[in-house]
């Protein structure tokens, strides 16, 4: 269970424009598990980032720092962009644990063969559920410069399956939101229920997370891999669920072994070199493995189990005219200040 033990500064800040709650600096007690000096530096650094909306840091499930600078409040759902892919991977794991999907090695053709193009490439039959989750389907990307045409198509599932192969199934990672959307379509077919209904039933209700509706494709399949809406505190519960090996309040939500499998790197980003598992990216922080969910513009969940540290950061997701270094600065904030604060902190 998430707990909050902190001392709120007497210098409460005024509510930011458009923010439903007062932005407050949460000053942790110095013996509560995060080094106070480094945490203060993290707060000061975060305050200089104009696109940053909120930051939450928790140790052992205890929130030691939370602040909203601008944008939605900590309990207000907001667009988490591609961090949706990590949440969707959790639903896939639950479906496998419940026997609705056989496992990661099950061919997607068992559910989606009727959506294959005419005269399909035989390699479509070799794509598995695990390949979708690790982005190793081999199909050409629908992201980046291809994204607009894909979401403007009449049938997103057919369009994603019709992309030409650029690698063999199980080969190199090809980042593609269309690949994640196929996971949503597969879960809908396998369960006979919408991804929204599964999300509310399998994660929202047991974790106490409000799950608003989000966009669906022209056939009514909820967008898999983008546009989910969740509050920063809701994201923290997702991170904590993974940090606790799929268990929440003593109840197993994710099947045993799913977190370990999800955090086993399979492919690598050709842009950052970061390994990718099932819906999560991987790196090291202070020499310890950190798994992170990453949404466009800086919607981040960092989980470092060996430090018992979970961090959530939300940012302005509006497209920027030019690439900036905002996401790199968020990684630096976590790796240079927050992770060391956990190393030096008590407990």
pLDDT tens string for the chain (347 positions)? 555 444 333 222 333 434 434 344 444 444 469 999 999 999 999 999 999 999 999 999 999 999 999 999 999 999 999 999 999 999 999 999 999 999 999 999 999 999 999 999 999 999 999 999 999 999 999 999 999 999 999 999 999 999 999 999 999 999 999 999 999 999 999 999 999 999 999 999 999 999 999 999 999 999 999 999 999 999 999 999 999 999 999 999 999 999 999 999 999 999 899 999 999 999 999 999 999 999 999 999 999 999 999 999 999 988 765 568 999 999 999 999 999 999 999 65
What distance in Å separates the CA atoms of residue 259 and residue 107, rounded to the nearest whole number?
21
| Domain annotation for the chain: domains and CATH numbers | 7-72+325-347 (no CATH), 103-190 (1.20.58)
CA distances from 208 to 204, 235, 237, 330 (A): 6, 11, 9, 27
Q: State how beta strands 288-295 and 299-304 pair.
A: antiparallel
What distance in Å separates the CA atoms of residue 90 and residue 196, rounded to the nearest whole number?
13
Q: Which two tokens stand for residue 40?
A: 């203060």
Residue 99 — left, alpha, or beta (φ > 0 → left; ψ -120 to 50 → alpha)?
left
What distance in Å separates the CA atoms of residue 344 and residue 36, rounded to the nearest whole number?
9
Please name the residues in contact with 145: beta carbons below 8 A apart, sequence gap of 6 or more: none
From the list 76, 96, 323, the residue with the least C-alpha distance to 202 is 96
Q: Which two tokens stand for residue 93?
A: 């794991």
DSSP 51-84: TEEEEEEEETTEEEEEEE-SSS-TTS-EE-GGGH
Strands across the sheet containing 288-295: 3-4, 62-68, 52-59, 309-315, 299-304, 288-295, 281-285, 275-276, 267-268
Q: Which two tokens stand for residue 148?
A: 């607009």
Q: Which long-range contacts (CB under 8 A, 24 or more apart) does 262-270 make?
A: 262/89, 262/93, 262/133, 262/291, 263/289, 263/291, 266/134, 266/136, 266/173, 267/134, 267/135, 267/136, 267/172, 267/173, 268/172, 268/173, 269/173, 269/175, 270/172, 270/173
Angle between helices 36-47 and 326-333 (to 10 degrees): 170
From the list 315, 158, 305, the residue with the least C-alpha distance to 232 is 315
Looking at residue 144, the DSSP 8-state letter turns out to be: G
Strand partners of residue 68: 54
Cα-based angle 246, 227, 107 (whole degrees, multiple of 5):
60
- The pTM of the full predicted model, rounded to 2 decimals, is 0.91
Q: How many CB atoms lie within 10 A of CB 346?
A: 11
Q: How far is CA 279 from the centre of its chain?
A: 7
From the list 302, 245, 288, 279, the residue with the least C-alpha distance to 55 is 302
Cβ-contact 255, 246 below 8 angstroms: yes
């Amino acid at each position: 269970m998430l707990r909050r033990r902190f001392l709120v500064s007497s210098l409460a800040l005024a509510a930011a424009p458009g923010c439903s709650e007062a932005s407050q600096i949460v000053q942790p007690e110095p013996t509560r598990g995060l080094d106070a000096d480094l945490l203060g530096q993290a707060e000061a650094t975060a305050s200089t980032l104009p696109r940053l909306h909120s930051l939450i840091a928790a140790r052992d499930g205890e929130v030691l720092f939370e602040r909203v600078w601008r944008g939605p409040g900590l309990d207000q759902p907001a667009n988490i962009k591609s961090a949706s892919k990590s949440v969707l991977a959790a639903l896939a794991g639950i479906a496998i644990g419940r026997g609705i999907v056989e496992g990661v090695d099950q061919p997607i053709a068992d559910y989606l063969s009727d959506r294959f193009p005419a005269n399909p490439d035989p390699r479509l039959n070799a794509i598995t559920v695990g390949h979708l989750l690790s982005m190793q389907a081999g199909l050409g990307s629908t992201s980046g410069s291809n994204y607009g045409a894909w979401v403007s198509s009449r049938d997103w599932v057919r369009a994603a399956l019709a992309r030409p192969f650029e690698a063999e199934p199980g080969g190199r990672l090809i980042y593609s939101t269309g690949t994640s959307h196929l996971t949503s379509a597969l879960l809908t077919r396998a369960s006979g229920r919408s991804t929204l209904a599964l999300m509310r039933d399998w994660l929202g209700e047991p974790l106490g997370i409000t799950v608003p509706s989000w966009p669906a494709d022209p056939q009514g399949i909820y967008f898999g891999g983008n546009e989910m809406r969740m509050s920063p505190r809701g994201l923290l519960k997702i991170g904590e669920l993974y940090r606790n090996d799929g268990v929440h309040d003593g109840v197993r939500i994710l099947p045993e072994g799913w977190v370990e499998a999800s955090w086993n790197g399979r492919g690598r980003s050709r842009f950052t070199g970061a390994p990718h598992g099932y819906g999560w990216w991987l790196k090291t922080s202070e020499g310890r493995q950190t798994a992170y969910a990453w949404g466009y513009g800086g919607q981040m969940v960092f989980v470092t189990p060996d430090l018992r540290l979970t961090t959530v950061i939300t940012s302005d997701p509006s497209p920027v005219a030019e690439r900036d270094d905002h996401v790199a600065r968020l990684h630096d904030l976590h790796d240079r200040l927050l992770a060391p604060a956990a190393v030096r902190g008590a407990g």
